[in-house]
Amino acid sequence: MADGGAPAARGSSRGVLIRDDWPGFPLHLFSFPKHYAEDLECVLIPHGIIMDRTERLARDIMSDLGDHDIVVLCVLKGGYQFCSDLVEVIKALSRTSERSLLMRVDFIRLHSYLNDQSTEDLHIVGPEDLSILSGKNVLIVEGIVDTGKTMKALLKHVVTFQPKMVKVAGLLVKRVASGVGSLPDYVGFEIPNRFVVGYALDYNEYFRDLSHICVISDDGKRKYKV
């Protein structure tokens, strides 16, 4: 934890570092749906901080990819809120700066979790035929990357359609011992190995209606376990 009780920050490709000993913010300091009152441990990243970091990532993407046509490939469902907010900021920057970024947005859905455990099976739901990516600059937008196995499999799938370039923006990267592959090109936050929900990240389809990114409690896991 940094001085003053805030998570440490650093300027690097790994994003904003949230250390393992960061306890998070007490729930009573924030507004959230009352039906989750017993299901959360803490607020790990408040919504306002998410939005500020998203704006910074959008500016970095504009700096790198501005004046190119890109296809934004949103990974559903956990990435939809981050992708939506990121695209909105890029659109605003395109209107107000000398550089612009012409975007087309498409979607792909992946499923690899059972309760709070990542499984070996990756299921691609939706448009498996991504021939629209052929010869295009592609920006994959993902809500969270943990072991990296899902992202590695998705990248392997995407490159079969011969895109011109592929970049990855991940809001969260989780520090896990079993991590494989490389980091996303654009990282919002590097977080401890804790199961987080909110801002479209779910636990068995619950908690997507949280604005903040929170740590789920053991009671919450038991309550919504399938």
146 among known catalytic residues: yes
Counting every residue written for the chain, the total comes to 226
Instruction: Classify 225 as helix, strand or coil.
Output: coil
Closest CA to 87 of 77, 79, 97: 79
Task: Please say whether the beta carbons of 188 and 51 come within 8 A.
Answer: no
Distance between CA atoms of residues 24 and 189, nearest Å: 14
Whether the model clears a pTM of 0.85, i.e. scores above it, the answer is yes
Q: Where are the domains of the chain?
A: 16-223
Instruction: Classify 18 as helix, strand or coil.
Output: coil
The residue from 146, 202, 218, 219 that is catalytic is 146
Closest CA to 149 of 119, 184, 115: 119
Angular region, 205: left φ>0, alpha ψ -120 to 50, beta rest:
left
Find how far residue 4's CA is from the centre of its chain: 27
pLDDT in tens, the chain (226 residues): 334 445 544 444 679 999 999 999 999 999 999 999 999 999 999 999 999 999 999 999 998 887 788 999 999 989 999 999 999 999 999 998 888 888 999 998 876 655 455 545 666 765 556 888 889 899 999 999 988 888 888 888 889 899 999 999 999 999 987 666 678 999 999 999 999 999 999 999 999 999 999 999 999 999 999 8
In CATH terms, the fold of domain 16-223 is Rossmann fold (3.40.50)
